[in-house]
Structure 1
Amino acid sequence: MSNPIIGKQAPTFSLPNYDGQTYEFKPGNGVPTALFFYPSSGTYGCTKEACAFRDAIAEKGVFKSKVNVVGVSSNPVAKQKEFVEKYNLTYPVLSDAKGEARKAYGTSKGLLGLTDSRTTFIIDSKGIVRDLFDSVINYAGHTKFVEKWLDKLQAEEQTGKPATPLAADAIPNESENGAQSPGVPEARTEEVKEESKAAAAVQA
């Protein structure tokens, strides 16, 4: 997906973290950053995505030692705190109630244009936005996107050759790893329910 900030210095911002403390987002400290925007804390796909990042940090060496993970949604601090504590999330989960960070990163709308998008940005160790992955349905693909980019950035450091953005088909669906595909009825129904709730809220 095209975005004007790709290849540019990542925008910095200050937002409340789930604990109520101000979090200063300033990438480029020598470690890559995975910044993921998601529609709403506690919903089916967002919970799956957030927990996938949590598990990746705990289980995968490339995540644990070579990337900072930061989650952002429009939910208020109290909701973020509840979300973090319920699912034992181990990274900052920020409240972007006014949409300031989303605006800075130029994120799109989600399915049907009724909700915020699910978009993950990979930012290199120098603070340059290298690529993004935008998919509401393929919530499991976001950690895979980051993992592939971490491998690319490591190779870039070793060879000195700049890494290129991932092809659109480079991120597999869950079904390719034997898990439930986001496209099957049960998962898709849950995502559609999220969109329906959003539509009802807009019309109310």
Structure 2
Amino acid sequence: MAPHALIGKQAPEISLLDQNGEKVTIQPGSTGTPLAIFFYPASGHSACTKEACGFRDALKTEVFQRSSISIVGISGDAVSKQKEFVDQNGLPYPILSDARHAARKAYHVKKGHMGFTEGRVTYFIDSRGIVKDVTNSISNFKEHIEFVRKRLETEGKGKAKAEPQDSEETTPASSFSDSDMEENST
């Protein structure tokens, strides 16, 4: 399989509504800390809940805390569903509503299970906003948490901030703003 189109490029900026109906703009690289964005099929489904709770629990571990990584979850569910999902599971990070699939398009997230479900894809983005790696496993949700943990150990050795490499050239990816976000708030 060919490498993902975004690897080595600046991660797209995304603007979506969060679980509280507030517009959130994610600007990879703007905080100087790594970022993991995980796209999942649907809030409340068993594997999706386990994945989201896995990231919640991982944030309490030493390697995640040392890195100051930010976690963002994204699905096509409405804001009200995202709110219920966050509240029921005590998620400490934003869960964004991508009902129009604008973020999925910007990040080239394909369907899973032969096109029958939304894909489960996690992006590891370094402290400068560069997509370093991607994992795509619809059925093995645990792989996504382990993928991020391993990338943190490999990339930053758990440091709070990585220094930019002057010799590394980056190509910006497109950004987007879901201008019809009001539709996501139901």
The reply to whether TM is greater than 0.5 is: yes
Aligned equivalents of 1:126, 1:151: Cα separation in 2: 17
- The letter of the residue matching 1:80 is Q
2:100 is matched with 98
Alpha-carbon displacement from aligned partner over 1:16-67 (angstroms, at most 9, x marks no partner)? 0001111111010210000000000000110110000000112x02212421
Aligned equivalents of 1:120, 1:89: Cα separation in 2: 17
The structure in which a higher percent of residues are helix is 1
2:22 is matched with 21
Deviation at 1:137, TM superposition (A): 0.8
Deviation at 1:149, TM superposition (A): 0.2
Deviation at 1:153, TM superposition (A): 1.0
- SS of 1:140's equivalent in the other structure is helix
Aligned equivalents of 1:56, 1:102: Cα separation in 2: 24
Normalising by structure 1, we get a TM-score of 0.74
Aligned partner (choices 61, 70, 89) of residue 68 of structure 1: 70
2:4 is matched with 3
Aligned equivalents of 2:25, 2:138: Cα separation in 1: 27
Deviation at 1:3, TM superposition (A): 1.5
1:146 is matched with 148
Aligned equivalents of 1:154, 1:127: Cα separation in 2: 13
Larger radius of gyration: 1
2:56 is matched with 54
Alpha-carbon displacement from aligned partner over 1:124-182 (angstroms, at most 9, x marks no partner)? 00000010010011101111000000011124959x8x9xxxxxxxxxxxxxxxxxxxx
- The letter of the residue matching 2:65 is K
Identity of aligned residues (%): 47
User: Which residues of 2 match residues 36-47 of structure 1 at below 5 A?
Assistant: 36-47=38-49
Count of residue pairs brought into register by the alignment: 159
> Gapped runs of 5+ residues in structure 2?
168-186
User: Which residues of 2 match residues 126-165 of structure 1 at below 5 A?
Assistant: 126-155=128-157
